[in-house]
Amino acid sequence: MVKDNDNGVVGFQFHQRDDSTKWQKFQRALYDPSTKQVLGRTPKSWGQLLFFYAMFYIVLAALFAICMQGLFATISVQEPTWKLEESLIGNNPGLGFRPISDKTEDGSLIWYNTTNHTTTTKWVKLMNTFLEDYNKSQVGENYVQCDFHKLPEPDQACAIDIGDFGNCTPEKNYGYNSTSPCVFLKLNRIFGWKPEFFTEPQDDMPIALKEHINSIINKKERQQIWVSCQGENALDKESATQFEYKPHGFAGYFYPYLNTPNYKSPLISVRILNPTPNIIISIECRAWAKNIVYRGGSLNRAGSVSFEIMVDTEGKANVMEAKI
């Protein structure tokens, strides 16, 4: 600032040089006795700032709580808001299989050496893990023994006995101690989906499935989502010709799925009887219902599942070379 004196002398104001040490400057930054400021603000200024932010976050939290309350008022913990064709998963359930290797590079290949206990134990352990929930006690609570003449109530869950899977049980190592291994099939859950059954054989069904349906006299017992498996290609079909199903379909009394407590998805065990050893066989399993769209192939598969199996009886086959 410039200041004119009466005698014509022009004066300039300069800030006095601060000779404080760094420690003194630091102390003054924390608290300045001359201005009563703490960290650059007076107590009043700090109070105003804290009050502003307190009110800001209180209002923000209140708005968030109102929004969440509105959201929870429109959704149910028992069922999804968007169901069937309105939902992202749609109304066409997919078919899955177990066991699946815990090694990503193995993909959907099931390979084991009948003379190597390590390779068979691997698949048995995977199956045991998958069936853990089914092995738990299913007595009491809301479990009931269901059949086609005794349907469950809306709040009841059908019990599943893994002893009904024939040779595909833990006691028999799911067939992995033999040349006839087992796989389990499972239909994906879709809330509220009701299957429309084929109660009569269809022209495009495998002969074995047609014969099985015709063998069932009681029409109620035909209310099942049928399952059939076969080799994907001509050579695969020649290499795997016989399959044993326990049961042959997903019973209709398991549907629709309504998020009932203790509900367990039904399973089908498929025993592949003595496939040609030492080669990789591609197998496709398909679910049969009027409202299950089937589409095969490696892209956009629907209503079916594909996997490969190789039963090595010589102990010489290299599975990675075989895959190539």
Q: Is the peptide bond before 247 cis (omega within 30 degrees of 0)?
A: yes
* pLDDT > 80? residue 11: no
Domain borders along the chain are 21-74, 93-323
pLDDT of residue 322: 45
Q: Mean per-residue pLDDT for 179-188? A: 94
Q: How far is 151 from 292, CA to CA, in rounded Å?
A: 23
pLDDT of residue 88: 86
Q: How far is 197 from 221, CA to CA, in rounded Å?
A: 11
Domain range 93-323, CATH class: mainly beta
Q: Mean per-residue pLDDT for 159-165? A: 86
pLDDT of residue 266: 94
User: In the structure, what pLDDT confidence band is assigned to residue 321 with cuts at 50, 70 and 90?
Assistant: very low
pLDDT of residue 18: 65
pLDDT of residue 19: 65
List the one residue out of 250, 238, 244, 261 whose CA is nearest residue 292: 250
Higher pLDDT, residue 88 or 64: 64
* pLDDT > 70? residue 37: yes
Lowest mean pLDDT among 16-30, 128-142, 210-224: 16-30
pLDDT of residue 240: 92
pLDDT of residue 315: 64
List the one residue out of 136, 241, 224 whose CA is nearest residue 185: 224
